Copies of this chain bind each other. A is one copy, B any other.
Amino acid sequence: MKLEVQNYKDTRSGFGDGLLEAGKRNPKVVGLTADLTGSLKMGDFAKAFPERFFQVGIAEANMVGIAAGLAIGGYIPFTGTFANFSSARIYDQIRMVVAYSNKNVKIAASHAGVTLGEDGATHQTLEDVGMMKMLPNMTVLVPCDYNQTKAATIAAAEHNGPVYLRFGRPKVANFTPADEPFVIGKAQMIQEGTDVSIFACGHLVWKAIEALPILKEMGINAELINIHTIKPLDVEAVLKSVAKTGCVVTAEEHMRNGGLGDSIAQVLALNNPKPLEMVAVNDVFGQSGTPDELLKHYHLDTPDIVEAVKKAVSRKRI
Contacts and interface: CB of A to CB of B under 8 A. Distances in A.
Ordered nearest first, which 7 A-B pairs have the shortest CB separation?
Answer: A273-B273, A269-B276, A88-B92, A89-B92, A265-B269, A127-B134, A88-B91
A269 to B, nearest CB: 4
B258 A269 contact: no
A8 interface: no
Interface residues of A, number: 44
Nearest to A315: B273
A55 interface: no
A273 B269 contact: yes
For this chain, the copies found in one complex come to 2
Contacts of A92: 84-85, 88-89
B268 A269 contact: yes
B257 A133 contact: yes
Given A131-B130, A284-B136, A257 B266 contact: yes
A270 B266 contact: no
Interface string A251-270: 00001111001111110111
A156 interface: no
A127 B122 CA distance: 22
A290 to B, nearest CB: 21
Given A255-B134, A283-B136, A273 B270 contact: no
A266 B261 contact: yes
